[in-house]
A and B are shown apart, each in its own frame.
Chain A
Amino acid sequence: MTPPERDLELVGITKRFGEFTAVDEVSLVMPSGSFFALLGPSGCGKTTMLRMIAGLETPTAGRVLIGGRDVTTTKAHERPVNTVFQSYALFPHLDVAENVAFGLRRRRERDVDARVAAALELVELGAMAGRKPTRLSGGQQQRVALARAVVNNPAVLLLDEPLGALDLKLRRQMQVELKRIQNEVGLTFVHVTHDQEEAMTMADTVAVMNAGRIEQLGPPQELYDLPRTAFVANFLGRSNLVPGTVVDGGDVLGIDAGGVRMQLPASRAAVSEGEVLVGIRPEKVRLLTDDAAPEPGATVLGPGTVEDVSFCGVSTEYIVRVPGVGPLVVFAQNLAADVPVARGDEVRLTWSPRHAFALPGESTTPAADVADEAPRPAVVAR
């Protein structure tokens, strides 16, 4: 849809504030027309990265390229990039139409009025053109900020937590809106957020950032299915992580975890020897009551004791403590045929090896979580 010469490329980009390294040698390519999400906890450097792309911050090292052109030293106002700011930063002295027209007027473009009207139509605010921004609601201001950026047809559109200030319902609505607008205009969207659900539902590609680095990058399904680091495993959804040691190599790894033997395909393991963390998503784990037989080839743990049962409507969340392994979280769909499991029951846990994944074992935080006695170990809720 858009010409390929509008790809955004970062090469070894680094930003230090005194002793603190906000962004640490990040290199990546964002293809033209993609919806790219930078996901990470606050302080992970994602906003700094955005500001370096916009030209509002100068990188300490590295380069920014747009369509192959090095724009590292180009001033913000000369870059084909527009930003939707977290605070919206609408000009209070200009009405909605003039806010949207601002960029076009500065570049002395033609057909300003028609393009402004079209942009306001796109965000469904045509009727508000003459109002001052202070007289709009938060959601409307957000859409004006979006129109103000989109109208310039930039090579890259940056969104700095644009939905952060909205309430939950409006946020869901705007997520759908944003996705629709991105499809319609076909611009490259770079969306910074700390909301994993927002990143997963909206983006084609998600880059999970932590402490100034990109932990993993890929389509949301891939990141969710096969996280490569404990941070990703726990930041994107929830994971059970069990420490173990690889005892058998080959196409199928054999792992000893606290006396229990587990298996998983070598292709799903980030490391194939030594200490590892075996990961399994809570919804991939099944509870086996005493007489049920596991599927052939499945990994079986337990018996363990059900410590907690939380009913969540469509599913139920169980915490099962397995001796020698620790507590594990299980999400079970509330299907008609299920036998009810109560607190204190003895159950076994089972999952298919093709759903498990293995991460490097020396990672500190998740291992500590597993050993923890907290009610939700091995899991970091977002």
Chain B
Amino acid sequence: MTAALTAATVEANEGEAEGARRRSRFAWVLLAPGLAYLVLFFVAPVAVLLLFSFYERVPGGAVGQTTPAFRIANYTEAIAEYAPQFGRSFLFALIATVLTLAIGYPLAYVIAVRARNRPLLQGLMLVMVIAPFFTSFILRTIAWKQILADESAVVAVLKAVAILPEGARLTATPFAVVAGLTYNFLPFMVLPLYANLERLDIRLIEAGADLYASPLSTFRHVTLPLTMPGIVSGSLLTFIPAAGDYVNSALLGTTGTSMIGNVIDARFFRVVDYPTASALSVILMVAILVLVGWYVRRAGTDDLL
């Protein structure tokens, strides 16, 4: 009798374990397409990229001809030759990120907090932020070319009020590239900030005022720390693609403003120098990874979530 009961229990337990196994197998089936996609289109290409970055070009060979090798000099040469472009990429991306934050934070604050009780106005403003996505990135950047062109109204006005000296121009300058980057990545800053500020509890701001904090002090000690996750994700979404961007520099700048993206583009598709282009890509990835890691740790957002 007891033995029978025990046997039944064991059987039930086994059945349960079997069920758990089946469930976990089912989870793998669900994950499979995503994993396959990642392996095929991310892991494998990165591995190939890494491999190619150590290959050697064949001197005097056909265009793009390489031989397998382990040539670390690819990296040192790439850094030595393209240090200015790397520096420019990170500098432009940094300036654009700071500018999008400076423009985007007040904008997101107005939409998320000030317009909170007016859903219609709030919706309208959000649409205005997102609307540019309905036209192509390239087209919008070309439009900026027109806006900043020598004969444009903007330049005429700036010259009239003597902000821009006679003979100076906006197009083909670092200013134009940074302006293009800032414009193009602004929504990537505004949307995460909006999502964060939208959840901001106004009563905490009142509590700050009640506890002797001036509006500025309340912002610094309450609002800002509480919106840090939005600031971090917004600046990552801006900085990372901006550092690798080559469209803005290609359309709005000159060779003097070229960023690392332009160099990689040229090395891959015009010079067909795969080892150098691969090495540059790997350097860019690692550099961004290091910067982002340092930034996230510095901002201490893991503590906030």
In the bound complex, do residue B222 and residue A91 qualify as a contact, i.e. CB atoms below 8 Å apart?
Answer: yes
Considering the complex, which residues of chain A in the window 237-260 have a beta carbon less than 8 Å from any beta carbon of chain B? Answer: none
With a cutoff of 8 Å between Cβ atoms, the chain B residues found around residue A89 in the complex are 201, 203-204, 206-207
Contact with B along A49-71 (1 / 0, CB 8 A): 00000111000000000000000
Nearest-neighbour CB distance to chain B for A104, whole angstroms, equals 9
In the bound complex, do residue B211 and residue A82 qualify as a contact, i.e. CB atoms below 8 Å apart?
Answer: yes
Nearest-neighbour CB distance to chain B for A83, whole angstroms, equals 5
User: How far is it, in angstroms, between the C-alpha of A73 and the C-alpha of B32 when the chains are bound?
Assistant: 65
In the bound complex, do residue B221 and residue A102 qualify as a contact, i.e. CB atoms below 8 Å apart?
Answer: yes
| A87 within 8 Å of B (CB atoms) | yes
Nearest-neighbour CB distance to chain B for A118, whole angstroms, equals 17
| A344 within 8 Å of B (CB atoms) | no
| B166 within 8 Å of A (CB atoms) | no
In the bound complex, do residue B212 and residue A91 qualify as a contact, i.e. CB atoms below 8 Å apart?
Answer: no
In the bound complex, do residue A85 and residue B207 qualify as a contact, i.e. CB atoms below 8 Å apart?
Answer: yes
Nearest-neighbour CB distance to chain A for B89, whole angstroms, equals 34
| B209 within 8 Å of A (CB atoms) | yes
Q: A89-B204, A89-B206, A93-B304 are in contact. Are A102 and B226 (CB under 8 A)?
A: no
With a cutoff of 8 Å between Cβ atoms, the chain A residues found around residue B208 in the complex are 77, 102
In the bound complex, do residue A81 and residue B204 qualify as a contact, i.e. CB atoms below 8 Å apart?
Answer: no
- How many residues does chain B have at the interface if contact means C-beta atoms less than 8 Å apart? 20
User: How far is it, in angstroms, between the C-alpha of A364 and the C-alpha of B221 when the chains are bound?
Assistant: 52
User: How far is it, in angstroms, between the C-alpha of A82 and the C-alpha of B206 when the chains are bound?
Assistant: 11
| B24 within 8 Å of A (CB atoms) | no
User: How far is it, in angstroms, between the C-alpha of A103 and the C-alpha of B221 when the chains are bound?
Assistant: 11
Considering the complex, which residues of chain B in the window 199-246 have a beta carbon less than 8 Å from any beta carbon of chain A? Answer: 201, 203-204, 206-215, 217-218, 221-222, 225-226
Q: How large is the interface on A (under 10, 10 to 19, 20 to 34, 35 or more residues)?
A: 20 to 34
| A169 within 8 Å of B (CB atoms) | no
In the bound complex, do residue B217 and residue A55 qualify as a contact, i.e. CB atoms below 8 Å apart?
Answer: no
User: How far is it, in angstroms, between the C-alpha of A90 and the C-alpha of B212 when the chains are bound?
Assistant: 15
In the bound complex, do residue A152 and residue B203 qualify as a contact, i.e. CB atoms below 8 Å apart?
Answer: no
| A76 within 8 Å of B (CB atoms) | yes
User: How far is it, in angstroms, between the C-alpha of A76 and the C-alpha of B203 when the chains are bound?
Assistant: 13
Instruction: Indicate which residue in A56, A90, A92, A107 contacts B210 across the interface (CB closer than 8 Å).
Output: A56
User: How far is it, in angstroms, between the C-alpha of A54 and the C-alpha of B210 when the chains are bound?
Assistant: 7
In the bound complex, do residue B211 and residue A102 qualify as a contact, i.e. CB atoms below 8 Å apart?
Answer: yes
Contact with B along A86-103 (1 / 0, CB 8 A): 010111110000000011
Nearest-neighbour CB distance to chain A for B198, whole angstroms, equals 16
User: How far is it, in angstroms, between the C-alpha of A90 and the C-alpha of B225 when the chains are bound?
Assistant: 14
Instruction: Indicate which residue in A87, A92, A93, A106 contacts B212 across the interface (CB closer than 8 Å).
Output: A106
Nearest-neighbour CB distance to chain B for A8, whole angstroms, equals 15
Instruction: Indicate which residue in B207, B209, B217 contacts A91 across the interface (CB closer than 8 Å).
Output: B207
| A148 within 8 Å of B (CB atoms) | yes
In the bound complex, do residue A106 and residue B210 qualify as a contact, i.e. CB atoms below 8 Å apart?
Answer: no
Nearest-neighbour CB distance to chain A for B152, whole angstroms, equals 46
Interface centre among A75, A77, A78, A103 (most CB of B within 10 A): A77
Contact with B along A127-160 (1 / 0, CB 8 A): 0000000000000000000001000100000000
Nearest-neighbour CB distance to chain B for A142, whole angstroms, equals 14
User: How far is it, in angstroms, between the C-alpha of A93 and the C-alpha of B221 when the chains are bound?
Assistant: 10
In the bound complex, do residue A106 and residue B226 qualify as a contact, i.e. CB atoms below 8 Å apart?
Answer: no
In the bound complex, do residue A85 and residue B213 qualify as a contact, i.e. CB atoms below 8 Å apart?
Answer: no
User: How far is it, in angstroms, between the C-alpha of A208 and the C-alpha of B59 when the chains are bound?
Assistant: 96
In the bound complex, do residue B207 and residue A55 qualify as a contact, i.e. CB atoms below 8 Å apart?
Answer: no
In the bound complex, do residue B209 and residue A56 qualify as a contact, i.e. CB atoms below 8 Å apart?
Answer: yes
User: How far is it, in angstroms, between the C-alpha of A278 and the C-alpha of B205 when the chains are bound?
Assistant: 50
Nearest-neighbour CB distance to chain B for A16, whole angstroms, equals 18
Chain B, Cβ-Cβ closest to A55: B209
Nearest-neighbour CB distance to chain A for B207, whole angstroms, equals 4
Nearest-neighbour CB distance to chain A for B205, whole angstroms, equals 9
Instruction: Indicate which residue in B203, B213, B225, B226 contacts A77 across the interface (CB closer than 8 Å).
Output: B213
In the bound complex, do residue B204 and residue A107 qualify as a contact, i.e. CB atoms below 8 Å apart?
Answer: no
In the bound complex, do residue A77 and residue B212 qualify as a contact, i.e. CB atoms below 8 Å apart?
Answer: yes
Chain B, Cβ-Cβ closest to A89: B207
Instruction: Indicate which residue in A56, A75, A92, A103 contacts B211 across the interface (CB closer than 8 Å).
Output: A103
Extra contacts, 16 of them, besides A54-B210, A56-B209, A76-B209 (Cβ < 8 A), are: A55-B209, A55-B210, A75-B214, A77-B210, A77-B217, A78-B212, A82-B210, A82-B211, A85-B206, A87-B203, A92-B204, A92-B226, A93-B226, A102-B211, A106-B212, A148-B211
Pairs across A and B, CB under 8 Å, 14 listed: A55-B210, A76-B209, A77-B210, A77-B212, A82-B210, A83-B210, A85-B210, A87-B201, A91-B207, A102-B211, A103-B212, A106-B221, A152-B211, A152-B212
Q: Sort A-B residue pairs by CB-CB distance and give the 8 closest, nearest first.
A: A103-B211, A89-B207, A76-B209, A106-B212, A89-B203, A93-B225, A106-B213, A83-B210
